[in-house]
Structure formats: structure tokens, C-alpha cells
Amino acid sequence: MTFAGRSTITVLLVEDVLETREVLAELLELHGLRVLVTGSVAEALTVARRAGTIDLLVTDLQLPDGDGSQIARTLVRQRPEMRSLFLSGDRPPVLGFGQSFLRKPARIDSIMGEIRGLLRHSA
């Protein structure tokens, strides 16, 4: 999988449930993605400042200190090419360009399909 001419895709994963975060990070890595793992809005923004390139944000919507759409709004101002995949058991947010939503629980094949679709539209 490539994006914007790069062979390595960097994903910022934001999930507050430790078990879900660990399993999802491992599955994304098994699919060849470089995964930066965080559990909160504050941690995600700190990691993003240090990360350089982030191609894709994969985030829960409900986090202990805010929501995933807040992270996306902040990061897309700095990285307009970044795509976002929101995962939640709640209603989807209003989606913009380069954003997608899956209801939890989601199968890894559905998640990877959404990721491929998001990245394909800007490669």
C-alpha cells in the first residue's frame, strides 16, 4: 500500500481501551502499516507534534479528554493530506473530505478496506 508516493504509511491510532488499542495496533502492523499508538486526545497531539509525517488518523470518537473529531480538526490544519477513519459505537460525525466512519465493533477486513479507500483517493 502506498500513499502520496511513500511506501511506508504512518497511522496515528487513538483508542482509550487498552485491549482494543493493542489488538488493533498489532493487526494494522501485520498489514504493513507503521503505527503510532496513543490513548487520549492530549497524548495524540503530543505524539503528532513529534512524529513528522502522519498519513492516517484512526481514532475512537469518545475519548476521556475529548473526541476523535477534535484531533482530526487540529491535525488536518497542519497536515491537509492526512486522512481520518473514525471508529465508534455511537453515531457518525459529520464527515468531510478524506474522512470515513465505521461502527464498532468492526472487523479488520472492513477497517483495512476503509483505509485502502481513504488512501487510494489521494495517492
pLDDT digit string, tens, across residues 23-61: 999 999 999 999 999 999 999 999 999 998 999 999 999
Cβ(108)–Cβ(27) under 8 Å? yes
Residue 55 identity? D
Say what the pLDDT of residue 6 is: 56
- Rounded to an integer, the average pLDDT of 81-104 is 93
Per-residue pLDDT averaged across 64-82, rounded?
A: 94
Q: How many CB atoms lie within 10 A of CB 91?
A: 8
pLDDT value at residue 99: 96
User: Which CATH number applies to 10-120: 2.40.50.100, 3.40.50.2300, 3.30.70.260, 1.20.140.10?
Assistant: 3.40.50.2300
Nearest-angstrom CA–CA distance, 65 and 49: 18
Answer for the pair 122, 3: CB distance below 8 angstroms, yes or no.
yes
Q: Is the pLDDT assigned to residue 114 strictly greater than 90?
A: yes
Among residues 12, 5, 15, which one has the least CA distance to residue 63?
15
